[in-house]
Structure 1
Amino acid sequence: MAPGPAHRSVRFAAPAVRLNMNKDSAQTALLWIVAAGFFMQSLDTTIVNTALPSIANSLHVAPLAMQPIVVAYTLTMAMLTPASGWLADRFGTRRVYFVAILIFVLGSICCASAHTLGQLVMARVLQGLGGSMLLPIGRLAVLRSVSSEQYVSALAFISIAGQLGPIAGPTLGGWFVQAVTWHWIFLINVPIGALGLYAVQRFLPAHGEIQAPPFDFVGCGLLSLCMISFSLAIEAPVETHRAAWSAGLFALAVLSALAYIPHARRRSNPLFKLSLFGEPNFSVGLLGNLICRIGSSAVPFLVPLLLQLQLGYTPLHSGLMMLPAALAGTVAKRWIAPLVRRYGYDTFLLVNTIVVGSAIVAFALITRGTPLIVGIVVLAVFGAANSMQFAAMNSVTLKGLSHEDAGSGNSLFSMVQMLAIGLGVSIGGGLVNLFSAQWGSAALGFRLSFVCVGIITLISAWVFRHLDDAPVTRNVRGQTTQGAGR
């Protein structure tokens, strides 16, 4: 008997349903791939801090001399992030994302194989080369594969992986150091990366190459020279015979930044258009972000060192002590939107910056006799306020940019974030060394350093007073996920 109309409709509808299911499965796989890459990147940013004293002991160097392995990673990411979008356009998203994971895994293996501090720093540069492409290209792959209605939800899902990294990183790093060796804080990336490489080849859509505009290598070189010179100037010892070297590096940083201005004016497609700074809140937000993050980025580096070197905590115990900050930060994210809607960005950031800076200063009061609950409360307050600070700073900096400038502005913003992390570690570690040598007490060196980096954070409150707080017309959470939730 010939099939009736109902049978024909089922027969013809089945391929459409199957096609739709395949598309949904591919998008789900894509989100998990990008989330895994983001998790690797965020985990590697935090897992190292708890293990620094053990790594220093293994490499026969002072624990406070370990900041180059953090700075090398973040600075490399800051320099190379702007090129990620151009590489994806030029060589294809799937190909470049595959290479990014491969380089990151190879860098992790080199880190685990390092026998000297210099070797470890070079391996971290290799890791940073791969890490600089993981999130931007992953976000670009999602943008090209999901509908506009699903984009914010997709980025929100990916940002969860970024939140899990700081939660798991310090504890996992402490556990590896005690249960096995510090080498496993890097080797854990190998199985995750291997699965990622297979998944990229199996599930990531093969977006073809497109006609990418010429990349601004000169502009990227000038800004990279500025960041490297500025970082090395801060890293330089403060002895008299090095003062001229440090001053020369500062001058080189300023000159390279100034040289970028006429270069950007002459070029039709510069790395970052100068018109970005015509949006007042972008300029204020960028400067406020840099200053605030310098202070708050020193905390994840200094606190594990304080707990292990001064208070006698084990690596695992010090890692567990960082959990209240990470968990409180995750919970506090839901408070941002209603608080900003009620008080406005300028008032919210003024008050919240004071809370963040005061919490950092409060770390100076923690000693061997301080009750455990006090330390937990200080860490929780810092984590909650810092999480809201990052999200609000991300949103107010980017929300006023036009659609044409959003991509370029977000890329510059990501550079500043990574630069600030490196500067925070350099300044925090340098201050501890300086005060410890001057006063002959490492304990006093840590206390004075927390006070100084807390004051640096408080200075950003004055910067945020210059915000032009127009009515909030865009979703705060949407902007937060756009800024990678950091």
Structure 2
Amino acid sequence: MNRIVPLILAVALFMEQMDSTVIATALPAIAADLGVGPITLKLALTSYMVALAIFIPVSGWMADRYGAKKIFRIAIMVFVVGSILCAVSGSLLAFIAARFLQGMGGAMMTPVGRLVLLRTTKRSELVSAMALLTIPALVGPLTGPPVGGFITTYFSWHWIFLINVPIGFLGVWLATIYLPDVPPVETAPIDLKGFLYTAIAASGIVFGLSVMSLPALPIGIGIGATVIGFFAAVLYLIHARRYPSPLLDLALFRNAAFRISALSGSIFRIAAGAIPFLMPLMLQLGFGMTPFESGLVTFIGAIGAITTKVLARRVFAAAGFRSVLIIAAITGAATTAANAFFTPATPVLVIMGVLLMAGFCRSFFFTGINSLGYAEIDDRQASQATSMSSVLQQISLALGVAVAAAILEGSTAFHGRALSLADFHLAFAVVAGLSLVAVIPLIGLARHAGSAVSGHGRRAALSEDVPVK
């Protein structure tokens, strides 16, 4: 496998993933400079997520129409321009607008990067390539808090965004030289009505859930936006059944491997999305750690995630997708449940050991579930599959934060007291149970599903060593 391709894509995706979490640590400092409260500034987080939700669905069509490599490079530059504008923003409105522009670039980078990987990677090497590409999604949220805390404490919050400039230009240069050209393919005219429905649906749901879990605005606004989002989603479902070339093709779900991957992956990702929200808060509010200290503790999970790239291909070839994914989901749930027993008296090394194993398990699960989703997708559906997967991932991550926040708020309201360590313990227990639910769809997965990609079973021996079709 030409490892330079997934590594270039991984660097760009890491920049996007880390930036989405690094800002959280710097919110008080940014808010002070802009003359607003930290809670109000959380609208900047929401605007980024809304941009992702709106533009991810159209990214696949753009990559098909104009070429995936070209769109990928443009996406990086849009992200860099948004980063510069964030650093020079002098008002809340300007900062929110800059974050929205960043989100537009980020929306293109993730699905288009996966599309480049799918169309340039052999079947037998997809698991290894996907393992490299999965690392940024796991490492980014973990490294964001300590990096953000360090830069804000010892330099200035502006450098959180300015550091993206050299990284972005390096990514464009490497992509220009090393990424293979993925030529445009013939596409139908863009589904404008479908784009309108999906934009309202995804942005309404993501914005609504974000506002409800991070109440910078009255909760009624969040509920209203969520209801509108779900209504638009229903309208899109009706539209997609009648339109010959819908923006997001629901026919993908007829493929059993893709359907199970989407369902199980979304459920597990809700739980995974809750953990980066819960763990730093518990360590800071419950254990009395500083943001930088808590970030150094949670960073250990990144090491667990990185180690999977060495083992993933051999493990999936030996046991197959079904067995490995079920085991990874169960052990991931167990390590999440262990967080419910942590107290300030728990040795830090014990906490870090559990987080190390948790990162290992979640990385295995996401490497496998992402590879499985594309294992039986032909080339004509590749861009549709990457767009659909990215939309589901973004919504499920937003749901993760909303679920975690709802548990904390519900627990404090029920007991009639301020937020305490017991509330975090309850949240981790519920999230662990949700992780186990992800196992249910996997039980119905065929034993040798995706064997041409995993290399497991007799069918793998008969598959040709050709790029994914």
- Give the TM-score normalised by the residue count of structure 2: 0.80
Does the 8 Å contact 1:109/1:186 carry over to 2?
yes
Equivalent in 43, 51, 58 of residue 83 of structure 1: 58
Cross-structure match for 1:465:
443
**Structure 1 residue 293 displacement after superposition:** 0.6
The answer on 1:385 being equivalent to 2:361 is: yes
Distance 2:437 2:35 in 1: 37
Cross-structure match for 2:419:
442
Alignment of 1:6-405 (within 5 A): 34-51=9-26, 68-91=43-66, 96-114=71-89, 120-138=95-113, 155=129, 159=133, 162=136, 165=140, 168-196=143-171, 211-235=186-210, 237=212, 249-341=225-317, 343-405=319-381
Distance 2:334 2:162 in 1: 37
**AA matched with 1:263:** H
Distance 2:220 2:20 in 1: 32
Does the 8 Å contact 1:233/1:250 carry over to 2?
yes
Does the 8 Å contact 2:134/2:363 carry over to 1?
no
The answer on 1:476 being equivalent to 2:454 is: yes
Does the 8 Å contact 1:364/1:451 carry over to 2?
yes
**Structure 1 residue 325 displacement after superposition:** 0.6
Greater C-alpha Rg: 1
**Aligned with 1:446: secondary structure?**
helix
**Structure 1 residue 251 displacement after superposition:** 4.3
Alignment of 1:412-427 (within 5 A): 412-427=388-403
Identify if the C-alpha distance between structure 1 residues 246 and 140 changes in structure 2 by more than 3 Å, giving closer, same or farther.
Answer: closer
Distance 1:156 1:229 in 2: 30
Distance 1:96 1:273 in 2: 21
Identify if the C-alpha distance between structure 1 residues 137 and 227 changes in structure 2 by more than 3 Å, giving closer, same or farther.
Answer: closer
**AA matched with 1:218:** K
Distance 2:128 2:325 in 1: 27
**Aligned with 1:442: secondary structure?**
coil
**Structure 1 residue 279 displacement after superposition:** 1.7
Does the 8 Å contact 2:75/2:105 carry over to 1?
yes
**Aligned with 2:289: secondary structure?**
coil
**AA matched with 1:448:** L
- 5+ unaligned residues in a row in structure 1: which ranges? 1-26, 479-486
Does the 8 Å contact 2:284/2:290 carry over to 1?
yes
Moved more, 303-312 or 59-68: 59-68
**Deviation per residue, 1:430-483 (Å, 9 max, x gap):** 4334434553222233333223323322222233333333355223399xxxxx
Cross-structure match for 2:461:
none
Distance 1:198 1:338 in 2: 33
Identify if the C-alpha distance between structure 1 residues 136 and 279 changes in structure 2 by more than 3 Å, giving closer, same or farther.
Answer: closer
Moved more, 103-112 or 437-446: 437-446
**AA matched with 1:332:** T
**AA matched with 1:193:** G
Equivalent in 434, 440, 460 of residue 456 of structure 1: 434
**Aligned with 1:178: secondary structure?**
helix
**AA matched with 1:468:** A
**Structure 1 residue 299 displacement after superposition:** 1.0
- Give the TM-score normalised by the residue count of structure 1: 0.77
Distance 1:396 1:182 in 2: 40
Cross-structure match for 1:481:
none
Distance 1:334 1:199 in 2: 24
**AA matched with 2:133:** S
Distance 2:184 2:453 in 1: 33
**Structure 1 residue 369 displacement after superposition:** 2.0
**Aligned with 1:469: secondary structure?**
coil
Cross-structure match for 1:3:
none
**Structure 1 residue 328 displacement after superposition:** 0.8
Distance 2:159 2:193 in 1: 39
Distance 1:165 1:180 in 2: 20
**Deviation per residue, 1:49-71 (Å, 9 max, x gap):** 44456556767878777765444
**Structure 1 residue 143 displacement after superposition:** 7.0
- 5+ unaligned residues in a row in structure 2: which ranges? 457-469
Moved more, 322-331 or 437-446: 437-446
Cross-structure match for 2:464:
none
**Aligned with 1:328: secondary structure?**
helix
Does the 8 Å contact 1:75/1:419 carry over to 2?
no
Does the 8 Å contact 1:285/1:397 carry over to 2?
yes
Q: What is the aligned length?
A: 450
Moved more, 197-206 or 456-465: 197-206
